[in-house]
Amino acid sequence: MYFRFLTGQDFAPLDTVNSMVQEAWVLFFQGRLNNTMAVMKSLLPFLAFAVLLPAQPPTPTAVFDASSSQSNTTPSCLVMQATVQAPGMATSPFPGAIGIFSPSRTFAFTCDGTLSGVAPGVLTYVGQIEGGGQMPFLLAVDLVTPGIPCGGSSGSSCLTGGSLFGTTPTPFGLYHRGATPLILLDGIAGLAPPASLNFFGRFLLAGSFAVDTVANGGGEVRLGLQALVADPGSMSGFTLTACLNVDQWVEN
């Protein structure tokens, strides 16, 4: 069980408070604490005015494979794993990752669209783009708002499947972005800041972004991420990675 003290301190488990009290008494009997009563008095506000709060429910998450989609390959690979905390909920890991030889995948999570006045959540990710050493690459993202409605008046269940923004055959593989993606990094065509893999064929991707709902005063978002990596072994000279989509479902 967890308590929030009226002094405004963060959550602390009850056994932590108990251990503090026990340590004070041990020190008293060993003669190492001359001001034990003062210490015990300082603990009284925490013990007397502790307020029991229910534990936050975990954020519902799921990972879906996209059938007949672009897959990661040895010379062109997008690797990613992540955790997400929806507003008013606890952090949950996505039950899977996108890695070597993975098909394109969707990381999906559900927010409670009826909550308001709570702190925004956060999605934290870590991964990398992989390929040949020092090969240039292009990284593009699509952003779509709002999230996917589910539950309540929508009449549909949450987390029922993944999504791709499109599927277009190209000489480089299956392209799953839209017609006008936002190019984040570009060491191939020079349309964004240049980027290339390091000597070992890696480029780190790590960070976080806010997760919120319209009802809570924020915005909802779905996004898709795919990279194009230079591949001297292919006929076209380039190979697309698998695509990673992130779908925000909003339960009403």
164-194: pLDDT as tens digits: 999 999 999 999 998 899 999 999 999 999 9
**Residue 247 pLDDT level (bands cut at 50, 70, 90):** very high
Q: What is the pLDDT of residue 22?
A: 45
Q: Are 196 and 174 in the same domain?
A: yes
Positions of E strands within 1-104:
2-4, 12-13, 51-52, 61-65, 76-85, 92-93
Among 14, 29, 52, the domain boundary falls at 52
Q: Are 32 and 155 in the same domain?
A: no
Q: Are 31 and 141 in the same domain?
A: no
For 139, counting Cβ atoms within 10 Å of its Cβ (0-12 exposed, 13-18 middle, 19+ buried), the class is buried
Q: Are 69 and 87 in the same domain?
A: yes
The structure's pTM equals 0.79
**Residue 53 pLDDT level (bands cut at 50, 70, 90):** low
Q: Are 46 and 69 in the same domain?
A: no
Q: What is the pLDDT of residue 63?
A: 98
Mean pLDDT of the chain: 85
Q: Which position has the token pair 């000597």? A: 199
Q: Which position has the token pair 């000489």? A: 171
Q: Compare 60 and 152 and report the one with higher pLDDT.
A: 60
Question: What Rg do the C-alpha atoms of the chain give, in angstroms?
Answer: 24
Q: What is the pLDDT of residue 50?
A: 43
* Structural domain of 6: 2-52
Q: Are 134 and 215 in the same domain?
A: yes
Q: Are 213 and 243 in the same domain?
A: yes
Q: Are 104 and 8 in the same domain?
A: no
Is-contact 177 213, C-beta < 8 A?
no
Would you give the distance in Å from CA 140 to the centre of its chain? 18
Instruction: Tell me the β-bridge partners of 105.
Output: 65, 244
Instruction: Tell me the β-bridge partners of 103.
Output: 71
| CA separation for the pair 205, 192 (Å, rounded) | 16
Instruction: Tell me the β-bridge partners of 38.
Output: none
Q: Are 81 and 158 in the same domain?
A: yes
| CA separation for the pair 79, 76 (Å, rounded) | 10
Query: Letter for the amino acid at 160?
Result: T
Q: Are 136 and 25 in the same domain?
A: no
Number of domains, the chain = 2
